């Protein structure tokens, strides 16, 4: 479909905005009037700029407070419209958006509004222009799409049609099924926005907290499906007012925006009957990415470290039961294994690791997912606007299909049939100081990675995880760190093969915020490792000299009372600083190493039954204990 975006959705000057919009692959824009008012060159220059960038200007918006006026106010309103029509003709814009009147002067009769809209449409038609009428959720007499449609029908002019905006309908929980029965050619324009469900005044919510489809919690797919079922063949456009987007780099936000429309189309395609899809006119053909291959968990995690950090990380991993590493045949890179866990430590002398080290310091530089078809997973990600990452492989080295995540960490896809031999044996020699088969301390697999994000990365990551990895939003909580508020949310694959926990700090003073500031907006903070018996694994690691985060006895007293656990069981947890949670499906036991090494702490987790969460209920206590060890924030 034809993809457009309102210029209000991005940061920058109008010229910077249209350049970012074109670079992200959009076909057109909605010109937001205040952006034009601040443009220093003539409308003709803007028209030529957009044409040079391959962008049409599909809509001029908004034209406010027009319909339902007292008779004496109409002539002035019409002459105001004529001035806008002059401008639209100079810019080559075919349609104006009239949003429902919010003035207390507006009168309620539908016939009056319809007659005035008909007059406006007549004037527009005489210049070859069209008028789209939109119900604002806070319109004085018109705040539902059905009311706007009623006035369009009463006006009965071919140059007047309906503008649908998903936010204004979904924010009011208004029914949108009826849209499917409208004549599609009478829907002149569709604007899409998503949002988190917030208990806010609707104007406040609309003007500051909308986001792109796939970043929120509204039924944007169902809404757009109804417009599509009606036969709508016009632009698929975004109109998003978001305070964070308006201060974020517009190139990144424009990529998110475009990805959101591709995701929306792909989701719609899943819900549509095949016969409808087969009949679709060229302007209604929906984006069809390759199916998402099955993702089967984490294959490996790679650290970029400097010469000072490597011995510390090596020492920690050996104490955690990883044994002697295998060394890469030609590079200062080491491979540590235990169970299905693979950790690669790269001393940052070349390529990706060197660049990562220079800009982020010692930390995780790449993550790898095991999947049923790695090349298809990469191609699908690239079709959804992810940047491919091409490694320069040495002779005999495995080349992995890869993309760059929004924070710059590289994401590799690893074919599950590649196995250990195919992935590592060609590159890594057998450990020279191996003391036979390492037995480990019972750590089996990577359960999840926990990442800290800068506040302006959250929407980007949620959409990335949803669109590229097919993850669904799960457990989510806000909680207090001693130095500010944090929000964490879990994302889980449909078959539970993949889990990721994202956290963002609202305050600059928390350790989470400071970890992010040192990197580039997204950093792996914790690697959670599954084991069958967390108490035994903790005891073994502790015997090898690993320090675990101490858990206050106050917390255990509360736990015993809260979950009605036996004193003997709680004493066993207390003795080993093991934390506990329980949901309807199962139990969760976990313990965390005390100090970060290589940018991360290691968490031992035991996921009993079908426990689906991440133990977020225990996060405030852990953050408080960590803050006690850490320096006072400035
Ligand atoms: Mg709108």
Indicate whether 41 pLDDT > 70: yes
Instruction: Give Cα 483 to chain centroid, integer Å.
Output: 26
| Residue 41 CA to ligand 1 centre (angstroms) | 26
| Residue 262 CA to ligand 1 centre (angstroms) | 20
Instruction: Give Cα 484 to chain centroid, integer Å.
Output: 23
| Residue 195 CA to ligand 1 centre (angstroms) | 14
Instruction: Give the pLDDT score at 390.
Output: 81
DSSP string, 287-332: P-PPPPPPEEEEEEEEEE--TTHHHHHHHHHHHTT--SPEEBSSSS
Torsion of CA 114, 115, 120, 123, to 10 degrees: 140
Token pair for residue 111? 């016939």
Q: Name the band, by pLDDT with cuts 50, 70 and 90, for residue 185.
A: very high
Instruction: Give the pLDDT score at 372.
Output: 92
Residues counted in the chain: 634
Tell me the C-alpha distance between 213 and 137, whole Å: 19
Q: What is the mean pLDDT of residues 416-434?
A: 76
| Residue 274 CA to ligand 1 centre (angstroms) | 31
Q: Which residue has the tokens 């937001």?
A: 32
| Residue 239 CA to ligand 1 centre (angstroms) | 6
Instruction: Give the pLDDT score at 263.
Output: 97
Angle formed at CA 87 by CA 76 and CA 121, multiple of 5 degrees: 55
Q: Are 320 and 604 in contact (CB under 8 A)?
A: no
| Residue 506 CA to ligand 1 centre (angstroms) | 29
In tens, the pLDDT along 113-130 reads 999 999 999 999 999 999
| Residue 162 CA to ligand 1 centre (angstroms) | 11
Number of C-beta neighbours around residue 419 at 10 A: 11
| Residue 588 CA to ligand 1 centre (angstroms) | 45
| Residue 216 CA to ligand 1 centre (angstroms) | 17
| Residue 193 CA to ligand 1 centre (angstroms) | 9
| Residue 163 CA to ligand 1 centre (angstroms) | 8
| Residue 16 CA to ligand 1 centre (angstroms) | 22
| Residue 241 CA to ligand 1 centre (angstroms) | 10
For β-strands 341-346 and 333-338, DSSP reports them as antiparallel
Higher pLDDT, 279 or 532: 532
Instruction: Give the pLDDT score at 15.
Output: 98
In tens, the pLDDT along 512-570 reads 898 887 667 899 999 999 999 999 999 999 999 999 999 999 999 999 999 989 999 99
| Residue 171 CA to ligand 1 centre (angstroms) | 12
| Residue 169 CA to ligand 1 centre (angstroms) | 10
Token pair for residue 436? 């036979």
For residue 445, give the H/E element and its range: strand 443-453
Tell me the C-alpha distance between 143 and 552, whole Å: 54
Q: Name the band, by pLDDT with cuts 50, 70 and 90, for residue 425.
A: confident
Q: Which residue has the tokens 């079922």?
A: 229
Tell me the C-alpha distance between 265 and 1, whole Å: 9
The whole-chain average pLDDT of the chain stands at 93
Indicate whether 374 pLDDT > 80: yes
| Residue 205 CA to ligand 1 centre (angstroms) | 13
| Residue 136 CA to ligand 1 centre (angstroms) | 7
| Residue 325 CA to ligand 1 centre (angstroms) | 58
Indicate whether 343 pLDDT > 60: yes
| Residue 99 CA to ligand 1 centre (angstroms) | 8
Tell me the C-alpha distance between 601 and 239, whole Å: 41
Indicate whether 391 pLDDT > 80: no
| Residue 276 CA to ligand 1 centre (angstroms) | 27
| Residue 127 CA to ligand 1 centre (angstroms) | 24
Instruction: Give Cα 298 to chain centroid, integer Å.
Output: 20
For β-strands 579-582 and 587-592, DSSP reports them as antiparallel
Q: Which backbone phi and psi does 384 adopt, to 5 degrees?
A: -95, 30
| Residue 191 CA to ligand 1 centre (angstroms) | 6
Instruction: Give Cα 112 to chain centroid, integer Å.
Output: 44
DSSP string, 45-99: HHHHHHHHTT-EEEEEEEE-S-TT--GGGHHHHHHHHHHHHHHHHHHT--EEEEE
Could you give the 3-state DSSP secondary structure of residue 402?
strand
Indicate whether 419 pLDDT > 70: yes
The neighbouring-strand residues paired with 387 are 404
| Residue 462 CA to ligand 1 centre (angstroms) | 23
In tens, the pLDDT along 48-94 reads 999 999 999 999 999 999 999 999 999 999 999 999 999 999 999 99
DSSP string, 449-516: EEEEE-GGGHHHHHHHHHHHH--EEEEEEEEEETTEEEEEEEEE-TTS--EEEEEEESSTTSHHHHHH
| Residue 464 CA to ligand 1 centre (angstroms) | 25
Q: Are 66 and 101 in contact (CB under 8 A)?
A: yes
Instruction: Residue 394: name the closest of 351, 336, 335, 348 by CA.
Output: 351
Could you give the 3-state DSSP secondary structure of residue 410?
strand
Indicate whether 264 pLDDT > 90: yes
| Residue 289 CA to ligand 1 centre (angstroms) | 28
SS3 content of the chain, % helix, strand, coil (to 5): 40, 25, 35
| Residue 468 CA to ligand 1 centre (angstroms) | 28
| Residue 175 CA to ligand 1 centre (angstroms) | 17
Q: Name the band, by pLDDT with cuts 50, 70 and 90, for residue 202.
A: very high
Instruction: Give the pLDDT score at 435.
Output: 55
| Residue 609 CA to ligand 1 centre (angstroms) | 46
Instruction: Give the pLDDT score at 474.
Output: 76
How much of the chain, in percent, has pLDDT values that exceed 90?
Answer: 81
| Residue 192 CA to ligand 1 centre (angstroms) | 8
pTM of the predicted structure, to 2 decimals: 0.93
| Residue 103 CA to ligand 1 centre (angstroms) | 17
Instruction: Give the pLDDT score at 64.
Output: 96
| Residue 132 CA to ligand 1 centre (angstroms) | 11
Tell me the C-alpha distance between 234 and 184, whole Å: 9
| Residue 190 CA to ligand 1 centre (angstroms) | 8
Torsion of CA 322, 323, 326, 327, to 10 degrees: 100
| Residue 166 CA to ligand 1 centre (angstroms) | 8
* 326-327: strand order across its sheet: 326-327, 333-338, 341-346, 295-304, 363-371, 410-415, 402-404, 387-388
Could you give the 3-state DSSP secondary structure of residue 209?
strand
| Residue 36 CA to ligand 1 centre (angstroms) | 18
For β-strands 56-63 and 28-32, DSSP reports them as parallel
| Residue 118 CA to ligand 1 centre (angstroms) | 21
Q: What is the mean pLDDT of residues 608-613?
A: 91
Instruction: Give the pLDDT score at 447.
Output: 96
Does 62 sit behind a cis peptide bond, omega within 30 degrees of 0 on the bond before it? yes
| Residue 546 CA to ligand 1 centre (angstroms) | 57
For β-strands 236-238 and 130-134, DSSP reports them as unpaired
Number of C-beta neighbours around residue 424 at 10 A: 18
| Residue 189 CA to ligand 1 centre (angstroms) | 10
Distances from the Cα of 373 to the Cα of 121, 383, 398, 506, angstroms: 54, 15, 15, 38
| Residue 165 CA to ligand 1 centre (angstroms) | 5
Tell me the C-alpha distance between 499 and 124, whole Å: 54
| Residue 254 CA to ligand 1 centre (angstroms) | 18
Indicate whether 436 pLDDT > 60: no
| Residue 134 CA to ligand 1 centre (angstroms) | 7
Instruction: Give the pLDDT score at 396.
Output: 59
Instruction: Give the pLDDT score at 224.
Output: 97
| Residue 28 CA to ligand 1 centre (angstroms) | 16
């Amino acid at each position: 479909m034809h993809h457009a975006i309102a210029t209000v959705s991005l940061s920058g000057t109008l010229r910077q905005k249209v350049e970012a919009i074109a670079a992200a692959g959009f076909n057109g824009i909605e010109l937001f009037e205040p952006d034009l008012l601040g443009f220093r060159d003539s409308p003709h220059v803007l028209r030529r700029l957009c044409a040079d960038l391959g962008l049409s200007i599909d809509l001029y918006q908004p034209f406010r407070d027009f319909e339902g006026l007292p008779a004496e106010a109409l002539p002035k309103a019409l002459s105001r419209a004529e001035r806008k029509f002059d401008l639209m003709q100079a810019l080559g814009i075919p349609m104006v958006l009239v949003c429902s009147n919010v003035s207390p002067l507006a009168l309620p009769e539908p016939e009056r509004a319809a007659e005035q809209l008909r007059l406006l449409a007549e004037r527009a038609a005489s210049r070859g222009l069209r008028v789209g009428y939109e119900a604002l959720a806070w319109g004085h007499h018109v705040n539902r799409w059905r009311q706007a449609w009623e006035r369009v029908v009463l006006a009965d002019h071919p140059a007047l049609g309906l503008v649908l905006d998903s936010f204004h309908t979904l924010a009011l929980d208004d029914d949108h099924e009826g849209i499917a029965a409208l004549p599609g050619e009478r829907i002149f324009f569709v604007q899409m926005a998503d949002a988190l469900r917030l208990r806010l005044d609707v104007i406040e919510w609309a003007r500051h907290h909308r986001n792109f489809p796939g970043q929120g919690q509204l039924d944007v797919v169902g809404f757009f499906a109804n417009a599509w079922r009606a036969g709508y063949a016009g632009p698929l456009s975004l109109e998003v007012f978001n305070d964070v987007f308006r201060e974020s780099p517009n190139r990144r936000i424009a990529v998110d925006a475009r990805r959101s429309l591709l995701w929306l189309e792909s989701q719609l395609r899943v819900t549509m009957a095949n016969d409808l899809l087969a009949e679709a006119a060229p302007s209604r053909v929906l984006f069809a990415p390759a199916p998402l291959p099955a993702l089967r968990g984490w294959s490996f995690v790679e650290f970029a470290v400097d010469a000072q950090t490597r011995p510390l990380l090596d020492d920690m991993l050996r104490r955690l039961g990883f044994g002697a590493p295998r060394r890469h045949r030609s590079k200062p890179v080491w491979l540590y294994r235990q169970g299905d866990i693979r950790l690669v430590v790269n001393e940052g002398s070349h390529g990706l690791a060197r660049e990562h080290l220079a800009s982020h310091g010692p930390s995780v530089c790449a993550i790898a997912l095991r999947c049923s078809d790695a090349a298809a997973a990469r191609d699908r990600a690239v079709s959804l606007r992810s940047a491919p990452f091409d490694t320069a492989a040495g002779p005999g080295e495995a080349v992995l299909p890869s993309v760059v995540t929004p924070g710059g960490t590289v994401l590799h896809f690893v074919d599950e049939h590649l196995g250990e031999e195919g992935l590592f044996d060609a590159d890594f020699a057998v450990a020279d100081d191996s003391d036979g088969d390492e037995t480990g301390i019972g750590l089996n697999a990577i359960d999840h990675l926990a990442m800290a994000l800068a506040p302006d990365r959250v929407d980007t990551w949620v959409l990335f995880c949803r669109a590229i990895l097919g993850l669904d939003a799960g457990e989510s909580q806000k909680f207090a760190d001693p130095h500010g508020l944090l929000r964490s949310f879990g994302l889980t694959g449909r078959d539970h093969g993949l889990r990721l926990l994202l956290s963002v700090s609202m305050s600059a003073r928390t350790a989470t915020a400071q970890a992010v500031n040192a990197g580039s907006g997204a950093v792996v903070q914790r690697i959670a490792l599954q084991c069958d018996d967390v108490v035994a694994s903790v005891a073994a690691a502790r015997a090898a000299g690993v320090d675990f985060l101490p858990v206050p006895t106050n917390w255990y007293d509360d736990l015993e009372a809260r979950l009605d656990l036996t004193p003997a069981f709680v004493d066993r947890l207390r003795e080993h600083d093991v934390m506990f949670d329980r949901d309807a499906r199962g139990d969760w036991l976990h313990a965390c190493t005390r100090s970060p090494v290589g940018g991360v702490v290691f968490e031992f987790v035991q996921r009993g039954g079908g426990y689906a969460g991440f133990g977020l209920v225990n996060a405030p206590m852990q953050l408080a204990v960590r803050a006690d060890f850490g320096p006072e924030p400035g």
